[in-house]
Structure 1
Amino acid sequence: MCRWIAYRGQPVFLEHYITKPAHSLIHQSLHAEEAKTETNGDGFGLGWYGERDAPGVYHEILPAWNDCNLKSLAAQIRSPLFFAHVRASTGTATSRANCHPFSAEQWMFMHNGQIGNYRQVRRRLEALLNDEHYALRQGSTDSELLFLLALQQGLDACAVTAFEAVLGEVKRAMQDKKITSPLRFTSCLSDGKRLFGFRCSSDGHAPSLYYRKYENGDVVLVSEPIDRQSECWNEVPQDHAICFAGDKVITRPLQVA
C-alpha cells in the first residue's frame, strides 16, 4: 500500500512536510508503520498549485529516498496546496504514467488502496469512459481509472457524490465477477481550493487516514502521521468523506450502493 500527504494552508515550502518531519514521507517510503508493506519504492510524485488553475506535477520511478531531485524541488517549491505520494504497486507497472498524483483540468487526485482482482474488471470499467475521458488515460492503474470515471461523473457538481457513484459501479462489476478480494479506497482530491479525503472499503478495513488542523488554519491530510504528537491527529472514520473548504471541516458518511 502507498503512503501520501496533502497540505492546504498558508504557502510553505514542500520540504516543511515532505522531507523534514521525524516521520516524513521520505522516512515512510522506507519505514511505513501503518501499511501492509513497510517499503514504498515503486516511484513517487509531487503535485502543487501555483499561479495557474491547473496544478504542476512531477513523477519519478526511482524510490523517493534515492532521488536527489526530490529534496531539491521540495526545498524550492512553495505552495498553498500540494500533494506528495510514494508508491507501492499492487500489480501494475512501475512507470511515470502510473505514479501519483494524477491531474486533469484543475483537479488533482491520489490514492492508496486497490480494486480487488482489478484485471478481471478492468475492461468493463474502462468501457464506461467516454471518448473524451478515455483520451486522458495515460497509465494502467486502477487509481487513474477511478479518477477519470469520477471526473466524467461530475466532480464540479459534487465530488463526494461522483465518487459514491463510481465506487458503486466498481462494486457491481466485482460482484458480477464473483470477486471476493476487497475494494479499498483511501484517497485525496483537490480543485486547488478545497481538499477532500475519502476512506472506505468493502471489508471494513480501509487503509488509514488522518488529519491535523493547526491553530492558524493550516491542514495536513496523511496516510499516517508525520510526527509523534499522536494527540494532535484525528483519524477519519471508516466509510466517511472529509472536506476542508475555507475554515470549515465537513465530514459525511459515504453511501456506496
Structure 2
Amino acid sequence: MCRWLAYSGSPILLEELLYKPVHSLIDQSQHSRMGVETTNGDGFGVGWYGLDEAPSLPGTRRSDEPVLFRGVGPAWGDQNLRELARSTSSGLFLAHIRASTGTPVQQSNCHPFRHGRWLWVHNGAIRDFSVLKRDLVMAVDPELYPFMAGSTDSEVMFFLALTFGLHEDTIGAVERMAGFVEAVGRAHGVDEPLQMTVATTDGERLWGFRYSSIGQSRTLYVSTALSTLRQMYPDNPVFSELDDETRIVVSEPLGDLKGAWNPVPESSFGIVEAGDDTLGRFQPREP
C-alpha cells in the first residue's frame, strides 16, 4: 500500500517530519513497520500551503492554492526533495510515499491529489478496481472529469468525494463516496471492496478517515495534544517551540516516544481545526 502524514500547526520546515525523526516518512519509504509492504518506492509527493506574509506578522494566513511537488522515483533517493524540504516551511502540509497496487508509476498517479484549495492522500485500495472503475468514473461530475489526470483508485475516490459535496459537507461527502464504492462493488459481486485511510484539507481544516469494508483498516495514528506532551516531557525543546494547535496524523508513528501517538479507532473520522478537535464515527451511506 502506501504511507502518509498530515501536519497542521506552527510553521515548520518540511524536513522536520520528512527526514529528521528516527522513523521519518523517508525512513518508512524503505523500512515501513506497519504497512503491507516494507518498501514504498513507487513515487512520492508533498503538498503544502504557503504563507502570504512572514509567519511573525499579525494577520498571516495560508495562501489560497496549495503547492505540489511529486516524483516517480523512490523518495529516499530524490535529492530535489531533500533540498526542498530543508528550505520550505509550512503550517499545513500532506506528504505521501507510494506503493502501487497495480496502476502505473507516473507523476499523475502520485499523491497528494489537488483540486482548487483541496488536497487528498490515501492509503489502501478499491478491490477489483479494474472491474468497478467504469461505473465509478462515470459517476464523477462532468465538470470535474477533465481535471482527473491519473489512473488510480485514489484519485477516483477524491473526485467522487468532490462530486458528492466535499466543499460543503466534508464528512458526509466522504461517507457518500465510501457508500457508493461499496454499492458498486455489491452490484458487481465484489465483496468488501474498500480499504482506506484518507487525509484531506481545504487549507484551513484537516480531516482524517479510517475505514474498510472488512472492518480491519490500515493503521492510523494521531499525535497527543502538545499541552499534554509538555507536561510529560518538560525538558523536550521541540514541544516548547510548537503551539497548542499542532497535530500530526500518520500511517505509522514517526518515533517511539511513549505516549506521543494514539491509534485512530476503527471506522472513525477526525477533524483538526482551531480550538477543540473532533473525533466521530464514520458511517458509509449511499448518495
Q: TM-score by structure 2 length?
A: 0.88
Structure 1, unpaired ranges of 5+:
none
Look up the match of 1:130: 141
Aligned length: 257
User: Residue by residue, what CA displacement relative to the aligned partner does 1:3-55 show, whole Å, maximum 9, x if unpaired?
Assistant: 01111001110001111000000000000001110000000001000132110
User: Residue by residue, what CA displacement relative to the aligned partner does 1:62-119 show, whole Å, maximum 9, x if unpaired?
Assistant: 1001111111110011101011100000110000000000010110000001111000
Look up the match of 2:263: 235
- 1:247, distance to aligned residue in structure 2 (A): 2.2
Structure 2, unpaired ranges of 5+:
53-62, 228-242
Superposed counterparts of 1:208-223, under 5 Å? 208-212=219-223, 213-215=225-227, 216-217=243-244, 218-223=246-251
Q: Distance in 1 between matches of 2:196 and 2:216?
A: 10
Confirm whether residue 246 of structure 1 aligns to residue 286 of structure 2: no
Q: Distance in 1 between matches of 2:100 and 2:267?
A: 23
Look up the match of 2:32: 32
Confirm whether residue 207 of structure 1 aligns to residue 218 of structure 2: yes
Q: Distance in 2 between matches of 1:125 and 1:44?
A: 25
Look up the match of 1:9: 9
Look up the match of 1:154: 165
Query: 1:135 is paired with a residue of what secondary structure?
Result: helix
Query: 1:76 is paired with a residue of what secondary structure?
Result: coil
Contact kept? 2:271, 2:278, Cα under 8 Å: yes
Larger radius of gyration: 2
User: Root-mean-square deviation (CA), in Å?
Assistant: 1.0
Letter in 1 for 2:128: N
Contact kept? 2:182, 2:192, Cα under 8 Å: no
- 1:181, distance to aligned residue in structure 2 (A): 5.3
Q: Distance in 1 between matches of 2:193 and 2:156?
A: 17
Q: Distance in 2 between matches of 1:58 and 1:144?
A: 16
Confirm whether residue 75 of structure 1 aligns to residue 83 of structure 2: no
| Identical counterparts, % of pairs | 41
Contact kept? 1:117, 1:181, Cα under 8 Å: no
Query: 2:171 is paired with a residue of what secondary structure?
Result: helix
User: Which range is displaced more, 210-219 or 33-42?
Assistant: 210-219
Look up the match of 1:198: 209
State which of 112, 115, 127 in structure 2 corresponds to 1:101: 112
Q: Distance in 2 between matches of 1:58 and 1:230?
A: 33
Letter in 1 for 2:23: H
- 1:214, distance to aligned residue in structure 2 (A): 2.1
Look up the match of 1:23: 23
Query: 1:17 is paired with a residue of what secondary structure?
Result: helix
Look up the match of 2:49: 49
Q: TM-score by structure 1 length?
A: 0.98
Superposed counterparts of 1:161-200, under 5 Å? 161-180=172-191, 182-200=193-211
Q: List structure 1 segments (4+ residues) > 4 angstroms apart after TM superposition.
A: none
User: Which range is displaced more, 208-217 or 85-94?
Assistant: 208-217
Q: Distance in 1 between matches of 2:81 and 2:226?
A: 26
Letter in 2 for 1:82: F
